Amino acid sequence: MKILIKNGLIVDGTGAPGYKADLLIDENKVEAIGKNLDAEGAEVIDASEKIVTPGFIDIHNHADFNIYDANQAESFVMQGMTTLLVGLCGLGITPANKVVEEYYADFGKKALSIDPKLYPRLEDCFRDFEKKGVSCNLAFLVPQGNVRACVMGLDMRPATDDELEKMKAMVRENMEAGAFGLSTGLVYPPGSATPTEELVELSKVVAEYDGIYDSHMRNEGARVLDVGMAEVIRIAREAKVRAHISHWSVISRFKVEKLTTAAIKLVQDALAEGLKITADVVPYEDGVTSLPFVLLESWVFENFLENLTKLDTRKRIKDEIFQRVFTMFLAGAPWYIRMIPKFLLKRLMLPVIGKQVVLLHTTSGEFNGKTLWEALKIRYPKKSMLDALLDFIRDEQGGVVIRIQFKDEERSVIPLLQQPFACASSDAILIRGGNNHPRTFSAFPRVIERIVREKNKLGLEEAIKKITSQPASILNIPDRGVLKPGKVADLVVFDYNNIREKATLANGNQYPDGIDYVIVNGIITVEKGEHLGMLKGQILRHKK
């Protein structure tokens, strides 16, 4: 089957200036790019006034949790994504055993309204997906949380030598099977209990296969430099691994510019030292997460309802929450805030934070779009904030997905995204049947609409590079991400002047305007803005 795209502006993904040409696809490959191409019997797409680019590659996506069921991947494909990297933040659908199954039965169903199909081994997962078919290509990381839970349950202690050997063998098995590297989520249990030395050892295995160590850092806030990034850089150095910073952010209300500049300098110095560091940046000021997961330690989940009810365990939970929140949000505060006595800070901190947290999705379906503070006041008017918070998490059975405004577009998001070693990503998670954050439907159209067209902070060619060839080169998939004869025909045809994010916080489930055609492995999957139901995505396997 031949497809001839006529008269488009070819932005080839390399960052080179766009040029007018025709592009011919034969089977699953780009056959030719040039003036006045002709091909008998080809399906012709008129791309006059349109931009033709490689398919977008999202290097940070949590689609694995439900893309088996949502295999048309509409929210991703309709925004131009043709390849997703999944298994991020130390979380994922494989490897899995009983412990992982129970963990996701709690976390998945309750916290995120997802019911993931889990697989003991990556091969099982690949086979199942290939049988069913999916609309976009998928590449998998090995989630370190799964590996650790498989070998040592949810024990929050360093691994023994024997356990470490087992974990290394498991990482090796996954790398052999075609994983692209190892992901960590060092704020989530059990990742949060993992010492750096253990990560170095696992990363050495990844390095043997030239995979990536891809990290949701231990700290993205006030201690992003000395705790978060320092650890990533140490792992890159000691394991000689290519390290990648997931959803790179500087989350602070204080000294944001200074922190951002220092964070950039830290990577520049590491690069100058010869280390290999890359990053991805999500083009939004807010983040989405599960409330119980950012607040509670893993032991709480083992006996969830009881621990959130009994007086003595509640007291321990409250202390731990205070410690966490304190570290996350206030550690970089100026001295006069740090001088405030702790008991007073406890009382002040929660209302301040509660007013910034917006509920995106709850188990009861109540309060979507309201702030956490409002919800607690309405439902538990007589209780203290902290008690109300614990009751809320318990009564919603953990199912509270939140959005927090904690980044600054001008002072941190854009400066990080502009770095040559940084690409863009969505960090999307799809909540089926629930309200989604706009990034699930339009993270990449937003990059083009807002950061290129409106704010002029990136050139179009540069922005396209950050969502095509740059992630492709990090992932080591040289046959994608660039438009050149011989490359795989993953393409997007879009209307630069009319590309528009329509999703909002109140109604996130809206497709963007302006994405006209999406072609996956040479098959037209989106035509004139409509998903055709094609399932021609491939499971990509990392090659050494």
Nearer to Zn ion (CB atom), residue 89 or residue 416? 89
- Of 14, 3, 351, whose CA–CA distance to 22 is shortest? 3
Between 89 and 422, CB nearer to Zn ion: 89
Burial (CB < 10 A; 0-12, 13-18, 19+), residue 228, is: buried
Question: Near Zn ion by CB under 5 A, which window of 48-56, 84-92, 127-135, 294-302?
Answer: 84-92
Q: Which amino acid is at 357?
A: V
Report angle CA 126, 131, 137 to the nearest 5 degrees: 55
Least spacing, CB of residue 33 vs Zn ion, in Å:
37
Alpha-carbon distance of 45 to 23, in angstroms, equals 10
CB of 14 to Zn ion, least distance (A): 29
Neighbour tally for 86: CB within 10 Å? 22
Show the tokens assigned to 184.
Answer: 């960590």
Interface stretch with Zn ion, choices 99-107, 125-133, 216-224, 359-367 (CB under 5 A): 216-224
Where would I find the H helices in 154-241? 161-177, 196-208, 230-239
- Least Å distance, CB 149 to Zn ion, is 17
Residue nearer to Zn ion on the CB measure, 50 or 216: 216
CA distance 227 to 216: 12
For the bound state, the minimum distance from the C-beta of residue 129 to Zn ion, rounded and expressed in Å, comes to: 22
Cα gap 56→82, rounded to integer Å: 6
Instruction: Give min distance, CB of 244 to Zn ion, in A.
Output: 12
Stretch that binds Zn ion, among 41-49, 93-101, 131-139, 210-218 (CB under 5 A): 210-218
Could you give the strand order of the β-sheet that contains 357-362, starting from the edge strand earlier in sequence? Answer: 286-290, 400-405, 357-362
Question: Tell me, what amino acid is at 1?
Answer: M
Query: Shortest Cβ distance from residue 258 to Zn ion (Å)?
Result: 24
Q: Which C-beta is closer to Zn ion: that of 6 or that of 216?
A: 216
Bridge partner list, 277: 243
CA distance 143 to 159: 17
Distance of CA 459 to the CA centre of its chain: 24
The residue within the footprint of Zn ion, chosen from 6, 62, 168, 216 (CB under 5 A), is 216
487 binds Zn ion (CB under 5 A): no
Q: What is the dihedral sign for C-alpha 270, 468, 129, 531?
A: positive
Per CB under 5 A, the list member of 52, 81, 89, 390 interacting with Zn ion is 89
Q: What is the 3-state secondary structure (H, E, C) of 116-130?
A: CCCCCCHHHHHHHHH
Q: Between 183 and 442, whose beta carbon lies closer to Zn ion?
A: 183
Residue with smaller CB distance to Zn ion, 92 or 481: 92
Q: Shortest Cβ distance from residue 246 to Zn ion (Å)?
A: 5
Inter-residue contact 186 to 143 (CB < 8 Å):
no
Dihedral pair phi/psi, residue 444, rounded to 5°: -80, -40
* Minimum separation from the CB atom of position 504 to Zn ion (A): 23
Q: Which is nearer to Zn ion, 55 or 108 (CB)?
A: 108
Between residues 111 and 492, which has the closer beta carbon with respect to Zn ion?
111
Question: How big is the site for Zn ion, counted in residues (CB under 5 A)?
Answer: 2
CB 446 within 8 A of CB 282: no
Query: Hey, what are 111's tokens?
Result: 């916290």
Taking the least distance from each CB to Zn ion, the nearer of 174 and 184 is 184
Q: How far is the CB of 151 from Zn ion (least distance, A)?
A: 22
Binding span for Zn ion by CB under 5 A among 49-57, 215-223, 402-410, 433-441: 215-223
Q: Return the number of the residue (216 or 242) whose C-beta is nearest Zn ion.
A: 216
For binding to Zn ion (CB under 5 A), which residues are involved?
Answer: 89, 216
